[in-house]
Amino acid sequence: MSEKSGNQTGLGCGADDSSVDGNGGQGNAADTAALSELVTGRWEPAVQATASSDHRASTPFAVDNSLTSKSGSGLAPGRGRRSREIEQLSERPFRTVPGGAASGLRSAASLKNNRGVKLANDGRVRLAMAAFHAAVALNTRLVEAHHNLVLGYALQGRWEAASQVCQKAINVNPGSKELVELLHWLQTQQGLMRRPAAAAQTSPMSPGDKLAAMGSGSVFIRSPSRSKVQAIAHFDAAVVMPTMLRPTIINAARSVFAQEGIESVQILIGVDKAIGDYGILEEIMHQAPEHCAVSVIDLGYSTSVRHGGFHAARDGGALRTILSYAAKSRYVAYLDDDNWWAKDHLASLREAIQGFEWAYSKRWFVDPDRLIPLAVDDWESVGPGGGIFKERFGGFVDPNTLMVDKVACEAVLPLWCVPLRGDSSGLTADRSVFNFLRNQRKGNATNQPTSFYKMNPTDPLHPQRLQTMSKLGGVKA
């Protein structure tokens, strides 16, 4: 998104024809300039190029239809085609989800979606896009949220991103005629709104488009918080987040932003293989609060054997190792892109690690569909010498509950790349890390369940977990 697409303009793009002369010569030039600004998301210059100071669109994300010539007799000669192309952007309103029968996850997604519509209509585009992303993450079947997310990208002139998001939405909702028709509309408009070559060379790319372009084949390190990172000698904690750009990373990042009792946090996001939309990272970087600095590292390829790399860990390859070394904090915590933390997670870990070399919290098991915490895990991730893994592995600690002093535990960092010997799944590097920590370093527990782990129905342990929770009461196996 352009830095100029903020609240000042309301993202409205109304216009009169006060700059058009009788033969339409200036009109063509003005329209071309406005169109160039519009398709690159630079709304304020577009308004300046097409509107008089006393004539603006009445609603955000809208284009005034009452374009008149100097004489007030309708569209000036030579202006009509470009004006109609711009007006195509406002022919599709954002869609709310009616209340009533919806419940559970769909209801939560609907609330996010409807909140996004209100934000969009207030001209708060960044927050609106974040709400639409969250709605899709909560319920991939919510067509209205997909529609609004796609329309939001289109209204910023990001046609390629809009088309990609729309195609993915169709893949998830193959029976949606609305999304198929929306994709056709996008493809049609992309042809109509093709920006002039000169504008294409001079107009700046949005951060999300830069991320996507750079991520396609070269090393890319981006930190919008560069001055913040440079100003802080050492962060109170660093958070390592490998990702494949699943939409759920927004909620994971927000749980880090919401941390209390800790003054500064560095968040290092490493892209393994991008299967999602790079625009998600743009939203995260723009939402980062003052006490958080976000850095995104995309090598342009995966380091995991799962996606053609060399490292045996199939859940991120060497990313956790690389990001741990890169962290500008002695204390490093780990968070997967589909899990999240309670507000006191980092602060409680920092307190527990004092006088020790690593620390861990307890965790909640979370329903994967409703995203509701079901039970505190008192039988798997319980630390050294306990739980159902006591005999086989000497216990277990989920990486999402872990914090290490990376100076005292530097020898453990390469083990994030190394699954257990004889493991064909490639998903046990966390056991290698835990095995080293429990035998070689002093650890301490917070004894507080501040990590939320979303269960995976395909996990071989899933049926056993449900049975155990059923015995504890309240959860049907």
pLDDT tens digits for range 286-328: 899 989 999 999 998 999 999 999 999 999 999 999 999 999 9
Predicted local confidence at residue 209, as pLDDT: 56
Predicted local confidence at residue 73, as pLDDT: 30
Q: Is 63 left (phi over 0), alpha (psi -120 to 50) or beta?
A: beta
Question: To the nearest whole number, what is the mean pLDDT of the chain?
Answer: 76
Higher pLDDT, 14 or 134: 134
Distance between CA 98 and CA 107 in Å, rounded? 10
Please say whether the beta carbons of 290 and 261 come within 8 A.
no
Structure confidence at residue 168 as a pLDDT band (50, 70, 90): confident
Nearest to 38 by CA among 203, 185, 278, 197: 203
Q: Tell me how long the chain is.
A: 477
pLDDT tens digits for range 86-142: 344 445 678 888 864 445 666 888 999 999 998 888 878 888 888 898 888 888 888
Phi, psi for residue 378 in degrees, rounded to 5: -110, 15
Please say whether the beta carbons of 70 and 336 come within 8 A.
no
pLDDT tens digits for range 53-87: 233 332 333 322 222 223 333 223 333 333 443 34
pLDDT tens digits for range 198-230: 333 444 555 555 555 544 444 455 555 566 667
pLDDT tens digits for range 366-400: 999 999 999 999 999 999 999 999 999 999 999 99
Distance between CA 250 and CA 279 in Å, rounded? 11
**Whole-Å CA distances, 182 to 142, 144, 164, 317:** 15, 12, 12, 37
Nearest to 235 by CA among 406, 450, 412: 406
> Please, what are the domains in the chain?
25-90 (no CATH), 104-192 (1.25.40.10), 213-472 (3.90.550.10)
Higher pLDDT, 126 or 266: 266
Buried b / exposed e over 260-291, threshold 16 CB at 10 Å, is eebebbbbbbbbbbbebbbbbbbbbbbbbeee
pLDDT at 36 > cutoff 70: no
pLDDT tens digits for range 429-467: 999 999 999 999 999 999 999 999 999 999 999 999 999
Of 14-18, 155-159, 171-175, least confident by mean pLDDT is 14-18
Token digits of residue 325: 């070394």
Token digits of residue 354: 């004092």
Structure confidence at residue 474 as a pLDDT band (50, 70, 90): low
Please say whether the beta carbons of 205 and 233 come within 8 A.
no
